[in-house]
């Protein structure tokens, strides 16, 4: 994840105006964007600012090539919600008065994720038939989507799929279809972008009944047969790396293991077990790199082993760029609402620590002050 952009935009922090336009410069009045530069995790963002020394009651916020009008209240403040459409979004607010256009210093908001459709695959049995249905949860760019269904060739028996393409499809399992899990894959094609994929399944019981998969209550059958081997790579062998795990996959398979469970392999703040994550999108350097992880997974699959990654959604490391930004700027940080700042009612969130300057408080996991809890009710954290 990118480091905080605060220090890269001293002009915006100081609120010094950048006044440009066809008319003469006016060094006194100012248009200030108060929204800090940040990596953001929702396309819709609230932007605030103020106007100083100007009588203007309206203005325009430009976000790259798009313009968003805003109203300035009697106190000289403005606020509006914009929808980001690009990876990097340059924001400039401007108001006009007396033939001059007064502009703010630019602020950059960087989307932390790619805007693409989100689609859920659903299977609804009706007797020996199954209705496959694509539910579009989000289509932020209003793209034209093409839905292509297929049956997993490893199903207990072949499933004849209609040649029609669309979000809604009926397939028949046949009266002689043996018991087991039947998986169906959905490929959503879109112009100029990588396809989006989703998966669903139904289960045929020994008596022939067909049941859908409910992610809230059900688990896949492989879980019942899993023989897990948990690995902390750095203690698996002395100074262990991912490549050392790959080298022993044949030996693990001979033991009867069919699932590897890796403790966190993400970039971390210390060389321990890895729960103090500083970057969820990068392999920690002392374990190797992404190619080493891909090699491990490929080798495991070749021997029929699954690989589970221990994911850490509860907290980050105190060294995470977001936590560091909060520690430095308190409530002014975009990430202040990413973290819990009031103790909760359970033992996982009962401890808190006020930072010396009094501007920030972190609730931390158990007694580990280096693990500040995330607020998992915050929409950007969920994203």
pLDDT tens for each residue of 137-175? 999 989 999 999 999 999 999 999 988 889 999 999 988
pTM of the model: 0.84
Asked whether 10 and 106 are in contact (CB, 8 A), the reply is no
- pLDDT at res. 359: 74
14 pLDDT band, cuts 50/70/90, is very low
Long-range contacts of 71-80 (CB under 8 A, 24+ apart): 75/50, 76/50, 76/51, 76/52, 77/48, 77/49, 77/50, 77/51, 78/48, 78/49, 78/50, 78/51, 79/46, 79/47, 79/48, 79/49, 80/46, 80/47
pLDDT tens for each residue of 341-358? 988 877 888 888 887 776
pLDDT tens for each residue of 75-134? 999 999 999 999 999 999 999 988 899 999 999 999 999 999 999 999 999 999 999 999
What CA–CA distances, in Å, run from 217 to 212, 214, 337?
Answer: 11, 6, 32
């Amino acid at each position: 994840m990118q480091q905080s952009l605060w220090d890269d935009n001293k002009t915006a922090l100081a609120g010094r105006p950048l006044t440009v336009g066809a008319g003469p410069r006016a060094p006194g009045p100012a248009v200030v964007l108060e929204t800090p530069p940040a990596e953001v995790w929702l396309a819709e963002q609230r932007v605030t600012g103020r106007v100083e020394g100007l009588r203007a009651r309206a203005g325009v916020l430009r976000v790259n090539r798009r313009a968003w009008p805003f109203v300035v209240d009697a106190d000289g403040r403005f606020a509006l919600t914009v929808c980001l459409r690009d990876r990097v979004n340059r924001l400039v607010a401007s108001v006009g008065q007396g033939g001059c256009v007064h502009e703010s210093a630019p602020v950059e908001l960087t989307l932390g994720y790619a805007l693409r459709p989100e689609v859920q695959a659903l299977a609804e049995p009706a007797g020996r038939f199954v209705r496959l249905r694509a539910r579009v949860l989000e289509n932020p760019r209003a793209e034209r989507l093409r839905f292509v269904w297929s049956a997993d060739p490893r199903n207990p028996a072949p499933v004849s799929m209609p040649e029609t393409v669309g979000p809604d499809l009926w397939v028949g399992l046949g009266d002689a279809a043996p018991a087991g899990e039947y998986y169906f894959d959905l490929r959503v094609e879109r112009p100029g972008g990588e396809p989006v994929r989703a998966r669903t399944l139904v289960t045929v019981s020994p008596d022939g009944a067909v049941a859908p998969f409910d992610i809230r209550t059900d688990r896949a059958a492989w879980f019942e047969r899993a023989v897990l081997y948990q690995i902390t790579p750095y203690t698996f062998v002395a100074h262990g790396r991912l490549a050392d795990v790959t080298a022993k996959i044949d030996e693990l398979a001979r033991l009867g293991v069919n699932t590897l469970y890796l403790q966190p392999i993400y970039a971390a703040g210390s060389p321990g077990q890895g729960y103090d994550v500083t970057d969820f999108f990068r392999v920690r350097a002392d374990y190797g790199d992404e190619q080493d992880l891909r090699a491990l997974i490929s080798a495991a699959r070749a021997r029929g082993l699954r690989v589970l990654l221990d994911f850490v959604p509860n907290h980050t490391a105190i060294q995470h760029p977001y936590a560091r930004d909060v520690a430095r700027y308190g409530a002014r940080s975009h990430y202040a609402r990413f973290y819990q700042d009031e103790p909760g009612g359970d033992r996982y969130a009962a401890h808190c620590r006020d930072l010396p300057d009094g501007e920030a408080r972190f609730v931390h996991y158990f007694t580990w002050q280096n693990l500040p809890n995330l607020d998992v009710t915050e929409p950007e954290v969920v994203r």
